[in-house]
Amino acid sequence: MHNDDRDLREHLLFSTAPARFAEASEGVRRQLVADHGRGAAEGRAAAAVTAAELCLDLQSYLPRWHLQAPGTTAPLADEALRAEAEAFRRLLTDWRAEGVLRRVAEEEVLLRRSNFLRMSRLADAGAITTRWGHDYAYGIREAMRRGALLVTTNPPLVNLARKEQPALWDPVREELRQAHRGARRDRLAALFSARVVLANCRLLRPVYQASAGRYGYVNLQVCPHAAQDALRMAEDIEWLYEVLREELGGTPNVVFKVPGTRAALDTVRRVTAKGIGVTITLGFSVDQHLAFAEAIETGCAPVSFLVMMNGRLDDPVREELQAAGVAGAADLATWAATAVVRRSYDLVFRQGGYRRSALLVASLRGPWNVASAIAAGPAPVFITSFPDKTAEYDAEPREIHSEIDQSLPPAVLAGLARSRLFGQAVEPGALGVDGFDSYYPVQVTLKAFAAAWDELAAWLAG
């Protein structure tokens, strides 16, 4: 999204008083008509895209943050929003922008049937306590229309962003190389990752401000090679926090992803004591969730997350069960992470009473991962979804209700008991702090993150 387009959307949707919205919308349309009438093909195309985006924004979840926010004086009615959306659509009709109109119509269908959008509205109504976010380094605007209120990134996703958007990120590479001559590769990789995160921070900044810092966060992961170095992770976080603070002109809407290793416990205690939020990635077990929830609770960070990497646990559990000759291993394994989510929710939030952190369900493999994370309890649960998994979950009607307190079928538990990895993940005390670093899913995932980080660093160094 161009900066001018972003600023226009933010002004109209997040800053304009509801009582003045119709007038402000009309002013935007007059400007778009003027831009379209200047004759240049590029200007006509840009005006049409802006009109289309605003037409969709007004039919989405986005007005909930300001124009229809609870407590807002005279919030806009749905009918008023639809009327303004139609006015933007009429511009496209007048301009005979058939291709853009088709795209708008297709997106409207997707919005109307979106389960994630319905989930967001159910959370607003207090029926559930589950929220969701976008598990990708770009494309947040479409997800925000469905209620996404956070973004997660990691080294593979940052590396993917620069590959898929070379026109955007190649110049940033050159800029960083010129500005930081002689810098270590890891430093360049951290700065580049911060740039990718910063782009998402700016898009989510209005949500962060509208929610008084409760939502609107972007995850920035520290160097995977520092996973066993508590001091280096803490110092990198503190340095990056200041970089982002300066860029954003205030408290960054960022949480820092640190691995669920033993060393990271000390990192978390230090940075959360300074009010800096964290996300514990490489999270697979009840023991990790309990230990890091306790560490986070000692600090004063307003928002932190405990990740459950569902698919990255389910996959090796499936392989372990298959190697043992367990019948139905593939189906059984889809329950492994679900069991950990439910046990952790009970022990960390119901029994433990921890409130400075929340579960963040990630690495989705299918709609069952979403369904298992729906909660209606004392603490929120967050889901982050890849774009393809978002589309899959939204592809057909689904029931949305809390399953977090349900027990697993006895036959499923009996089958999963054949997996040592599952036992270590789900039973309190089975893994222990001393087992965090050697746990197989931690090692495999950390290795994958490090490989992506190294590829990014090599590209930056040129």
C-alpha–C-alpha distance, residues 365 and 163, integer Å? 24
Cβ-proximal residues to 209 (8 Å cutoff; 6+ apart), any chain: 14, 216
Q: How far apart are CA 356 and CA 309, in angstroms?
A: 20
Tokens linked to 153: 């990134």
Residue 116 has a CB neighbour count (10 Å cut-off) of 22
pLDDT at residue 268, as a whole number: 98
pLDDT score at 4: 65
Q: What is the pLDDT of residue 8?
A: 87
Q: Which of 283, 420, 434 is nearest to 361 (CA)?
A: 283
Q: Which helix (H) or strand (E) holds 327?
A: none
Mean pLDDT in residue range 379-397? 98
pLDDT for residue 422 is more than 80: yes
Grade residue 3 by pLDDT with cuts at 50, 70 and 90. Answer: low
Q: What is the CATH number of domain 113-461?
A: 3.20.20.70
Interstrand relation of 305-309 and 358-362 (parallel, antiparallel or unpaired): parallel
Domain boundaries, the chain: 3-111, 113-461
Kindly report, residue by residue over 237-295, the tens digit of the pLDDT.
999 999 999 999 999 999 999 999 999 999 999 999 999 999 999 999 999 999 999 99
Please give the mean pLDDT across all residues of the chain. Answer: 96
Backbone angles phi, psi at 9, to 5 degrees: -60, -45
Is beta strand 358-362 parallel, antiparallel or unpaired with respect to 217-221? unpaired
H-helix or E-strand containing 307?
strand 305-309
Q: Match 């960054």 to its residue by tokens.
A: 252
**CB neighbour class for 358 (10 Å; exposed up to 12, middle 13-18, buried from 19):** buried
Amino acid identity for residue 144 in this structure: M
Element (H, E) at 359: strand 358-362
Element (H, E) at 385: strand 381-385
Task: Indicate if the pLDDT at residue 42 is higher than 90.
Answer: no
pLDDT at 314 over 90: yes
Q: 308 pairs with which residues across the strands?
A: 361
Give the length of the chain. 462
